[in-house]
Amino acid sequence: MHDFVRPKLEPTVEKPSASEIERMVVSDDECTATDGCPVEPDGYCPHGYPSWLLHLGIM
Ligand SMILES: [Zn+2]
């Protein structure tokens, strides 16, 4: 079952710096979720936290 409407969880880690965000944008497979887990740039970690790119509206 795919549930694309998820409640928005508050980030549990510090927001990455601009250069870290930029690296996530240019690198296809190095992205972290808002709780610090490694995720796909347009994905969610197993705990339901979105990638920073999703959270910031970049993806
Ligand atoms: Zn997680």
Domain locations along the chain:
18-55
pLDDT for the residue numbered 43: 93
Distance 34 CA to ligand 1 centre (A): 8
pLDDT for the residue numbered 28: 73
Query: Global pTM?
Result: 0.81
Q: Rounded mean pLDDT of the chain?
A: 89
Distance 33 CA to ligand 1 centre (A): 7
Given a cut of 70, is residue 11 above it in pLDDT? yes
42 to each of 31, 32, 48, how far by Cα in Å? 9, 10, 12
At residue 35 the predicted structure's pLDDT band, cuts being 50, 70 and 90, is very high
Kindly state the average pLDDT of the residues 35-47: 95
Distance CA 5, CA 13 (A): 23
Given a cut of 90, is residue 27 above it in pLDDT? no
Distance 59 CA to ligand 1 centre (A): 18
